[in-house]
Amino acid sequence: MKVAVIGAGAAGMTAAYSLVKHNIEVDVYEASSRIGGLAGTLTLWNQKVDIGPHRFFSTDKKVNALWLEVVGKDYEMIDRLTRIYYKNKFYSYPIRIFNALSNLGIFEAGQCVFSYLLERISATEQDGSFETWVQHRFGKRLFEVFFKNYTEKLWGISCKDLDADFAAQRIKKLSLYESIKNAVLNGKGNKHKTLVDQFAYPLGGSGMVYERMADAVRNSGNNIHLNTPVYRIITNRGKILGIELEDGSFREYDHVISSMPYTLMVKRLTEVPETIRHLAEHLKFRNTVLVYLQINSTSLFPDNWLYIHSTDLQMGRVTNFRNWIPGLYGNEEKTIIAIEYWCNDDEPMWRYNDEDFVKLASDEIARTGLVSPDLIENGYVHRIHRSYPIYSKGYKEILKPIEEYISSIENLSVVGRYGAFKYNNQDHSILMGLLAAENILNNANHQLCDINTDYETYQESFIITKTGLYKQ
């Protein structure tokens, strides 16, 4: 059997790595010049940085076992420190009750408590939106303070138009009660990812995991083709024949595992019905722009990353790579931070040049007081097209018939955040890659589209510690 894997990100590399261990012939095609996709690692100014903050955490034994198999002992446990920046104040995240009350002040805190109690008495009618879902869990005022602005920056649409499915996938077990319990117990016994205060991190950066997988694929005699974008998948009577590269060449395969952007993959299939093609046009992705700044200081702020909730700032998240592990910066006496912006193809921001972005990021980070402008020495811009699948309200009704059509193609697997139109973490994508490989190797019938729908349903829970796997 010969398999093509489209995309060298977390899902694609996991699938390829799992297949070559069982002597399956694999070719990996990656449009860019590097391995790792959204979880990749860059080298800038003699330091290593990830493409935004990437923490690995899973409770799935299979996922964790594979991660440890690849990483070995080359990882550290990082104590997570993240905060919310809102109205020139910093709020601990996960929420620390006394910190939040102190920052909000008596009047604002009273409003938050009152709106939460009011919600318990007269619940907000659920209309399928993120806004009503979160208001029901936290009350209207806490929604406005801690959810609304950041969420709308990220997705580019009103919380009224964002599907509640996003909340159900990402924060389904999080509530005000859980947040207060977390604060009182100081994080002990947390299983909810949003509340986890420690995570495993590879010594060579997030991308080290997938670079090692790539080495294993190459060492087994198989191929990884970088700078080689796939144009489309060729089918005949509901069965894949192979792929067509952007240079027009055709390559034959028995199975294709695709993590190319879902909308492009669907619209370019050679036999796709017009109704399916039309539906795919209604699915949209959000873009990310990361502006890396080199700062002439080794002591800025203590957080791994910050969420920027202030309405007067366009940036959404700030990562300080100095606060991860020393292996990233080595002997360098300077700090690299990453400032994230999100935009759509049709927004003016997406057309900014690099100098505009560096100036915007430099000005905004200086306005927070976190970095003195005279310490900023260099800037680098990294653009990611189609980084977030937009969960517009009702998107599942659009996605379902497309998924049913794709599942009817017997030798095609779609995986990853891009490929499956799922807002995946690394562990979701690793699991997709693993199960896609199992479907091929064992003729299994894992439903990949169900991953990251109701994800945390394992009978047994295992986490990674410094000494390996630990059963909770």
Please list the pLDDT of the chain residue by residue as tens digits (472 residues): 999 999 999 999 999 999 999 999 999 999 999 999 999 999 999 999 999 999 888 889 999 999 999 999 999 999 999 999 998 899 888 767 677 778 888 888 888 889 989 999 999 999 999 999 999 988 999 899 888 999 999 999 999 999 998 877 766 555 555 555 555 555 554 444 444 578 999 999 999 999 999 999 999 999 999 999 999 999 999 999 999 999 999 999 999 999 999 999 999 999 999 999 999 999 999 999 999 999 999 999 999 999 999 999 999 999 999 999 999 999 999 999 999 999 999 999 999 999 999 999 999 999 999 999 999 999 999 999 999 999 999 999 999 999 999 999 989 999 999 999 999 999 999 999 999 999 999 998 888 888 876 544 444 567 878 777 666 5
Q: Distance between CA 456 and CA 196 in Å, rounded?
A: 14
Q: Distance between CA 245 and CA 249 in Å, rounded?
A: 5
Within its chain, how far is the Cα of 105 from the centroid? 34
What are the strands of the beta sheet with 412-414, ordered from one edge?
A: 223-225, 25-29, 2-6, 255-258, 412-414
Q: What are phi and psi of 405, to 5 degrees?
A: -65, -45
Q: What pLDDT is recorded for position 340? A: 98
Give long-range contacts, CB 8 A cutoff, 24+ apart: 280-284. 280/402, 282/398, 283/389, 283/390, 283/395, 283/398, 283/399, 283/402, 283/421, 284/344, 284/389, 284/390, 284/392
Q: Distance between CA 432 and CA 423 in Å, rounded?
A: 13
pTM: 0.92
Q: Distance between CA 395 and CA 425 in Å, rounded?
A: 20
Q: What pLDDT is recorded for position 193? A: 47
Q: What pLDDT is recorded for position 459? A: 42
Q: What pLDDT is recorded for position 457? A: 45
Report cis status (omega within 30 of 0) of the bond before 94. Answer: yes
33 by Cβ neighbours in 10 Å (0-12 / 13-18 / 19+) ranks as exposed
What lies within 8 Å, CB to CB, of 310 at 6+ separation is 85, 86, 87, 88, 149
Within its chain, how far is the Cα of 143 from the centroid? 22
Beta bridge partners of 442: none
Between strands 2-6 and 25-29, the pairing is parallel
Provide the 10 A C-beta neighbour count for residue 197.
15
Q: Distance between CA 387 and CA 20 in Å, rounded?
A: 28
Q: Distance between CA 391 and CA 117 in Å, rounded?
A: 29
Of 209, 248, 218, which Cα lies nearest the Cα of 26? 218
